[in-house]
Structure 1
């Protein structure tokens, strides 16, 4: 599986740890940057990851900024991208099982490395449950089609 990853300066160090974690578990990682802790603008990186999802270059994405909020807002502007800000393993699990999220957003300034890696692991191990959740996700998709 290919995973697109991106971060701004506030998420750079955590991005590097997550990338190392993913590669060690056999995932292919497309790193859209940033490549340092020098100040930069998070929407630039959210855009690249979201476009990679739209184009089918990656099946899932991970975005990291200071809180994860800005990345999440930006990524959700792209049709077919369903980004979820997760601060614990339960949120990660249900974002996949109930909401079919294809982008995980994390806060580099609000999560410790160990918790962040646990959230990533849980998110990747979880799958969309379908059933009553499919009906709801279909409603979201219909709204997206109507409004975009």
Structure 2
């Protein structure tokens, strides 16, 4: 699987651990995040991940910032992106099963690295259920 990842300064350590895990599982990772802990602006690192999803260059995306909110809001500005802000693996599972989330937004200041890795595992292993959920997903773009 090909996965795009982006982070601001709050998510650098998380990104390194997640990337290491993904590569150990045989996934290809495209790193759009900062490798530093100096303050940066999250949209600069999230827009490229969302563009990768929008243009179908990758299968899934992972974005990480302090609260996860700013990154999530930024990603969801892109057509075809369904980014989900999650803080536990149960919410990740529902975001994939019911919402067909294609980007996982992780709040680094509100989850441990261990929790984040568990969320990534669930994100990758959970399939979209389709059915009644497909009808709802089809109504998201609001292109009238």
Which is helix-richer, 1 or 2?
Answer: 1
TM above 0.5, yes or no, is yes
Residues 37-80 of structure 1: CA distance to partner in whole angstroms, max 9, x if unpaired? 11100011110101111121111000000011110000000011
Residues 15-40 of structure 1: CA distance to partner in whole angstroms, max 9, x if unpaired? 11100011111110000021111110
Q: Give secondary structure in 1 for the equivalent of 2:84.
A: strand
Indicate the residue corresponding to 2:111 in structure 1.
111
Q: Give secondary structure in 1 for the equivalent of 2:62.
A: strand
TM-score relative to the length of structure 2: 0.97
CA RMSD, aligned part only? 0.8
Q: Give secondary structure in 2 for the equivalent of 1:13.
A: helix
For 1:117 and 1:20, locate their aligned partners in 2 and report how far apart those are by CA, in whole Å: 10
Structure 1 position 107, deviation (Å): 1.0
For 1:112 and 1:35, locate their aligned partners in 2 and report how far apart those are by CA, in whole Å: 19
For 2:19 and 2:97, locate their aligned partners in 1 and report how far apart those are by CA, in whole Å: 23
Indicate the residue corresponding to 1:97 in structure 2.
97
Indicate the residue corresponding to 2:68 in structure 1.
68
Q: Give secondary structure in 1 for the equivalent of 2:71.
A: helix
Q: Give secondary structure in 2 for the equivalent of 1:63.
A: strand
Structure 1 position 9, deviation (Å): 0.3
Indicate the residue corresponding to 2:24 in structure 1.
24
For 2:53 and 2:132, locate their aligned partners in 1 and report how far apart those are by CA, in whole Å: 25
Structure 1 residue ranges, 4+ long, deviating more than 2 angstroms after superposition: none
Q: Count matched residues.
A: 144
Residues 74-98 of structure 1: CA distance to partner in whole angstroms, max 9, x if unpaired? 0000011110001111110010100
- Structure 2 residue runs of 5 or longer lacking an equivalent are none
Q: Give secondary structure in 2 for the equivalent of 1:98.
A: helix
The alignment status of 1:45 with 2:45, answered yes or no, reads yes
Q: Give secondary structure in 1 for the equivalent of 2:100.
A: coil
